[in-house]
Structure 1
């Protein structure tokens, strides 16, 4: 699985995490999956932040400039393409996560959309 798969599944995982009426075993598996995935997301976010800091314009002290209105790094237009390329490479990085498998019956109570179901396909078994 690649990091992008994990990022794309976060909305569905949050919905699953807040669903009521699931068995304790299913709730446990969902919790374990979320915990395992959160570690990968944290590492991704840390590296992405370092990339943003590296590509951002710097102030007179060499610190990255963050726009006060948008709270986003001020990246010059001529560096945006290179930054996006690096972030895409990072998102396509393979990771190994110990995923507890779930069935469609297990997640039925969460009332996931087809798009949400597709995003968690990696944790569904036939």
Structure 2
């Protein structure tokens, strides 16, 4: 019987997943879009600390990876929204257990982060 580490070469599912969600804000983008389409400004408000440049680039990356769709309504003033594709929906659903883990271990992780941040 093979272990996950033995089968996790270049064809590993984890490698493919990490290629798509790599980037500080991509998992949060997917998380917030799971509730339905959002306009850029709404995403910008939900994702605290992200710059316009980085958010725009990460949205473009996720669109190129076909996990989100950008809809331009060709209106004046411009109206554009972002929504998960079926592929993106399945990926966003896979992130939920990570959210649960983070919530369950938040206080322990806060202590660990405080210790780490205090190191020289």
TM bracket (short chain): under 0.3
TM-score for both structures, normalised by structure 2: 0.25
- Between Structure 1 and Structure 2, the one with more strand by share is 2
Higher Rg? 1
TM-score for both structures, normalised by structure 1: 0.25
- Structure with larger RCO (C-alpha < 8 A, sep 6+): 1
